[in-house]
Chains A and B, each alone.
Chain A
């Protein structure tokens, strides 16, 4: 019985070794994460400005909504960056 337990222990140890060795490898590649974050900030701003511009065109209130949504866009962009950096740090 003790031999079996020993074997089990050995298997577990090598399994853990495999896990720590092979899992995150390319996930925390610094270049990959840099590419990932850089666009997040701009993309939300772009979407928000588009929404603001469209609402303005619809309601004929030229600069008001585009200004409001600009701030929303910045906030959403920062939120995105914080989220993706959190994810990268977790790996």
Chain B
């Protein structure tokens, strides 16, 4: 009766196997739910912008809310210079948010609970931010590893520490999102198993706990998407302004 709580994270193939130059590119449940999430985002904006009014409709208000929210967040964390990256950050935020939210539905699959997905996203940001930093500051971007006001004999030590701290960014970014989603969904499954195992008389206790947990998970799903976007903005800010 008690199901394996980790079973929900299994990636399996849907439909026929596809091979492209020897690489397996067949559709999996993971990629299916990514496609669903992207489709939901497109649907959200398509419905909101179908007929634009000065006095906006319900979905249009939501669209504008999301736009304002992200635009304000970028302004707060990375300043006006980061405006050209608005569309990227917005896409990133909405993609992670919808992946997290779709994953909360029963029988669905949480793509962000796979570390390879979050690590790929974090690596894209890490490499992109580094490239932006070198384009904006030239070789001077390397000064990010040399904080000012440090005695010379400490410099070799500090530079190594700074480089490690810089390299740890994609790890901490990806592990945070992955661990939160994995832990939350495992907990939900475990408490769901308790409800079945304890039956009608005592089962309502873990059931009420599950309800509270679901509310927490919705908060976490939003918060993690937000934190991911905020941290990308902070890294972008470091690359654009370099005030260490």
Contact = CB atoms under 8 A, between A and B. Distances in A.
Interface stretch (B29-37, B49-57, B226-234): B226-234
B65 interface: no
Interface in A28-43: 29, 31-32, 35-36, 38-40, 42-43
Contacts of B164: 44, 47-48, 51, 69, 72-73, 76
Contacts of B171: 43, 46-47
Given A31-B223, A32-B226, A72-B160, A40 B168 contact: yes
B223 A44 contact: no
Interface residues of B, number: 25
A39 B169 CA distance: 10
Interface stretch (A7-15, A18-26, A56-64): A18-26
Given A36-B231, A39-B179, A31 B219 contact: yes
A35 B160 contact: no
Contact of A76 (B77, B161, B223, B234): B161
Contacts of A75: 161
A48 B162 CA distance: 11
Contact of A46 (B72, B76, B168, B219): B168
B85 to A, nearest CB: 19
B226 to A, nearest CB: 7
Interface string B62-90: 00000000001000110000000000000
Nearest to A22: B72
A29 B167 CA distance: 26
Interface residues on A, range: 20 to 34
Contacts of A32: 223, 226-227
Contacts of A87: 234
B161 A27 contact: no
B17 interface: no
A31 B221 CA distance: 12
B23 to A, nearest CB: 26
A80 B168 contact: yes
Nearest to B179: A39
A79 interface: yes
B168 A44 contact: yes
Interface string B213-243: 0000001000110110011001000000000
B219 A47 contact: no
B161 A39 contact: no
Contacts of B224: 35
B172 interface: yes
Contacts of A47: 164, 167-168, 171
B175 interface: yes
A48 B226 CA distance: 28
The 6 A-B residue pairs whose C-beta atoms are closest, nearest first, are A43-B172, A44-B168, A43-B171, A76-B164, A43-B168, A76-B165
Given A32-B223, A39-B175, A75-B161, 4 more contacts: A31-B219, A43-B169, A51-B164, A80-B172
